[in-house]
Structure 1
Amino acid sequence: MTKPIALEGVYPILATPFTEQGDVDENSLRELVRFQLHAKVDGIALFGMASEMYTLLDDEKARIAEIVVDEVKGQVPLVFGSGHTGLEVAVQLSKRAEKSGADALMVLPPYMAKPDGKRLYDYFAAVAKAVNIPIMIQDAPLASGVNIPAAMLARLSKEFENIAYVKVEAPPTTFKVTEVLEQSEGRLTVFGGMNAMYFYEELGRGAVGTMPACEFPEVCVNIYQAFKAGDLDTARRTFYQYLPFLRIGTLPGSAMAVHKEILKAGGVIESAYVRNPNAPIDERTRQEALDTLKDLDLLALRWNEIKAAR
């Protein structure tokens, strides 16, 4: 394996903008990438749960990857989600992602037929053998229905050099962060998830970054940079100021629409359309989301002004 890139910091999961007719909106996608780069993110992740990846066709994924790679132009690393509910498809998706420009992979476990321990191990081992770029295992039992024991994560990191990261989304994430770091004896690097709802505490436990939704990148960047500089007061204060907003971005069945409504409100994307089985939110829920941002300065809501000044 060539020398892997080191991942740390803020890697938002890129939403997939659609038109009102439900097609991929390429112009909004490019604007969304520019928005992330303007916020000085450390990297970008695509084809995660917040990308509605389970609704995307193969040719749509290929085109999205092409656009994102073109817009980023190597400025930050790209992490592609390549998990699937079957081993063979996960291997194929992982190979394609590597060829399409992924610097690393984020791999969700099988989520239809729930695997036993042997099948779970074999699944991640097969992906690790198929590619030459770093792998981040996504431990997200609320989304996948599969809990990955810390002992298995540690074993996989010991036996496969490119299994180097874990995205911990098993609540409470703080406990699992500690468990993974201790059992892997330093081999695994941990990112947080769950829309950054535990980001400040995760950093305190040894996580090196987060992979949240993409409508508040500068908030996470500010928290991360302050924490890294030793300014814990600023990191903590910023985190708790925005926590109600982070929480409302996890509404079951409506989270994707919340993310997109905020992006649309400020002009980052043109439409908040979400694909089935996700549901749009009503005006009351939309207003509740915006209410959590009163007296706060969110970059996404000022994006029209920034575009006009470009």
Structure 2
Amino acid sequence: MSKMQVALEGVYPILATPFTESGEVDEQSLRELVRFQLQAKVNGIALFGNASEAYTLLDRERERIAEIVQEEAKEQVPLVFGSGHTGLEGAVQLSKWAQQAGADALMVMPPYMVKPDGKRMLDYFAAIAKAVDIPIMLQDAPVASGVAIPVSAMAKLAEEFDNIRYVKVEAPPTTVKITEVIEQSEGRLTVFGGLNGMYYYEELCRGAVGTMPACEFPDVCVRIYQLWKSGERDSAKALFYQYLPFIRIGTIAGFAMSVHKEVLKAGGVIRSSRVRNPNAPIDDALRREVFETLEGLDPLVLRWKRRDA
């Protein structure tokens, strides 16, 4: 199957980037993190997203991470690479590299340093679409980037470029915008939810085909999706609301990356919860609050260490 024929749906966690205590990419933990995702039966894996701290990575680190993830994934699931940039030329270069490096699709945020006007935004995405021939997902993440992509612009891009086929909607309220994207694009755009799965169940009800959350609870997201697909919607809703306090605490601005990594570390998936500046480590109070949300729950992440014992 060619990459343009790959249909993305289901659960595509955004892979965290594990660091050692000294601040280097922890390759061993990264390999274990990929194995953890595959054990959870994810539908795909996304690299170099906001939850990957991609904005802190050096080019050589990005190249090595791509190599390791492909070695561990062994083409079992599609890989989506984030390739947004602060400027058009950088995004085109990064997108070309991602395709050459093995990406099955791209996830692209608009420029986020200087906020683009309508024409600049369209030109930016058009240049990327012309530069690659793998599917492109528009990442509408104004909470993280400060830039919202208008639905009219999404629809126009999807009409003009066959490879602009997906949108990750992270603009709250995500549910309302998902409906607008599906209606205005007249079926050309397939929608994933974001914001760490905060509105996952409601997004499925609105026509989203999956979610792209952080990567410490993939098994939970997969189970919700399986229940939904099999028609057991009440069970899907109940499981989602059971985990919602935990999902919500993973969205705290400035500390979200540390929250994700503290949970992964607690389960033995990664060895350190270190994050890079400008992210901040969590304190004891927040750490306690995070694990209180998991009391009485049984996610795979907290059984991972014991599984290998």
d(CA) in 1 for partners of 2:288, 2:196: 19
AA at the equivalent of 2:208: A
In structure 2, the CA distance between the partners of 1:232 and 1:271, relative to structure 1 (3 Å rule), is same
**Alpha-carbon contact 1:4-1:133 (below 8 Å) kept:** no
AA at the equivalent of 1:257: S
**Secondary structure in 2 matching 1:213:** coil
Is 2:93 the counterpart of 1:92?
A: yes
d(CA) in 2 for partners of 1:228, 1:2: 24
Alignment of 1:140-289 (within 5 A): 140-289=141-290
Identity of aligned residues (%): 73
The residue that corresponds to 2:67 in the other structure is: 66
**Secondary structure in 2 matching 1:167:** strand
The residue that corresponds to 1:4 in the other structure is: 5
AA at the equivalent of 2:129: A
**Secondary structure in 1 matching 2:5:** coil
Displacement, 1:144?
Answer: 1.0
**Alpha-carbon contact 2:178-2:207 (below 8 Å) kept:** yes
Displacement, 1:283?
Answer: 1.1
Cα deviations across residues 170-220 of structure 1 (Å, max 9, x unaligned)?
000000000000000000000000000000000000000000000000010
The residue that corresponds to 1:75 in the other structure is: 76
**Alpha-carbon contact 1:226-1:232 (below 8 Å) kept:** yes
d(CA) in 2 for partners of 1:133, 1:76: 16
The residue that corresponds to 2:131 in the other structure is: 130
d(CA) in 2 for partners of 1:3, 1:91: 18
AA at the equivalent of 2:123: D
The runs of at least 4 aligned residues of structure 1 exceeding 2 Å deviation read 1-4
d(CA) in 1 for partners of 2:213, 2:253: 15
Is 2:295 the counterpart of 1:294?
A: yes
The residue that corresponds to 2:14 in the other structure is: 13
AA at the equivalent of 1:119: R
**Alpha-carbon contact 2:4-2:135 (below 8 Å) kept:** no
Cα deviations across residues 67-124 of structure 1 (Å, max 9, x unaligned)?
0001001000000000001000000000000011100000010000000000000000
d(CA) in 1 for partners of 2:106, 2:94: 10
Cα deviations across residues 248-289 of structure 1 (Å, max 9, x unaligned)?
000010000000000000100000000000000001101100
**Secondary structure in 2 matching 1:296:** coil
Segments of structure 2 that go 5 or more residues without pairing to the other structure are none
In structure 2, the CA distance between the partners of 1:254 and 1:132, relative to structure 1 (3 Å rule), is same
AA at the equivalent of 2:201: Y
Q: TM-score, normalised by structure 1?
A: 0.98
d(CA) in 2 for partners of 1:4, 1:232: 29
Displacement, 1:307?
Answer: 1.8
d(CA) in 1 for partners of 2:114, 2:289: 37
**Alpha-carbon contact 2:14-2:215 (below 8 Å) kept:** yes
Displacement, 1:2?
Answer: 6.1
The residue that corresponds to 2:57 in the other structure is: 56
**Alpha-carbon contact 1:254-1:280 (below 8 Å) kept:** yes
d(CA) in 1 for partners of 2:74, 2:4: 20
The residue that corresponds to 2:308 in the other structure is: 307
d(CA) in 2 for partners of 1:52, 1:147: 20
The residue that corresponds to 1:35 in the other structure is: 36
**Alpha-carbon contact 1:223-1:239 (below 8 Å) kept:** yes
**Secondary structure in 2 matching 1:146:** coil
Displacement, 1:4?
Answer: 2.5
Q: How many residues align?
A: 308
**Alpha-carbon contact 1:194-1:250 (below 8 Å) kept:** yes
The residue that corresponds to 2:110 in the other structure is: 109
